[in-house]
Amino acid sequence: MPVKKSPPITSSRPAASKGATKTPPLKKTAGVKPAAARAGRVRRRAVAPAVVRDIFMRFQAANPEPKGELEYVNPFTLLVAVVLSAQATDVGVNKATRALFAAADTPEKMVALGEDAIRDYVKTIGLFRNKAKNVHALSQLLIEKHGSVVPQDRAALETLPGVGRKTANVVLNMAFGQETIAVDTHLFRVSNRIPLALGATPLAIELGLEKVIPAPFMRHAHHWLILHGRYVCKARRPDCERCIVSDLCTSPEKRV
């Protein structure tokens, strides 16, 4: 007579107990560290719309006209500065571009300067060789395809060498007053911490913020969030004691 197999025994012990089956590791998600992804199993919700409005009202009251920290003299030099700022500090970029823009503040002058000379001006900036190549090439394309004028269209900007979505959004916002949100590491962190909009990628954060930020605050929203992340809601140790929205923040990293 065949022996019937007993059904498997389900253990009631917690996963951390000896002999328990380990949970397979989470796949890495762009923009989110594995530890953060594991913590994300406890689902967080973005703050309510009324709280979002209160947060931006406070940012506006504290700094009505926030400004980017890159130095420029026209839309072209702004475009060049933002391209150079990838994986570099604004302070470092400004030191290099003061002399560069004194020598070349138009696409024609930049092309005439030549890639080798551009490289000498920006050699103190990280990835300077490739950036110099991109600056020379985008200047040439602006002359050939856009009449030496920086286009006011994201898709057209993204066809230029060294220009991605974030760079295009910065230029559209700062040079032309468009209500775009440029998601850098600071803004990405702040949005996920408070949270205003939750997302694993910069694009998800950008689209999420566009849905929740009230219209009166869209023009300056990305500057307020970037500056807040750079000087207050810092990566390693958020300075919650100085934060003007700490009472509205629900981050588990909050220190007050």
Q: Check if 184 is active-site.
A: yes
- d(C-alpha 185, C-alpha 31), whole Å: 9
Nearest to 136, CA basis, from 100, 107, 158: 107
- d(C-alpha 191, C-alpha 183), whole Å: 10
| Residue 179 vs residues 163, 171, 172, 184, 210: alpha-carbon distances, Å | 18, 11, 8, 16, 9
Determine which one of 133, 166, 234, 239 is catalytic: 166
| Burial grade of 169 (CB within 10 A; 0-12, 13-18, 19 or more) | buried
Determine which one of 95, 105, 184, 254 is catalytic: 184
- d(C-alpha 156, C-alpha 118), whole Å: 24
Name the 3-class secondary structure at 29. Answer: strand
Q: Check if 166 is active-site.
A: yes
- d(C-alpha 132, C-alpha 138), whole Å: 10
- Catalytic annotation, residues: 166, 184
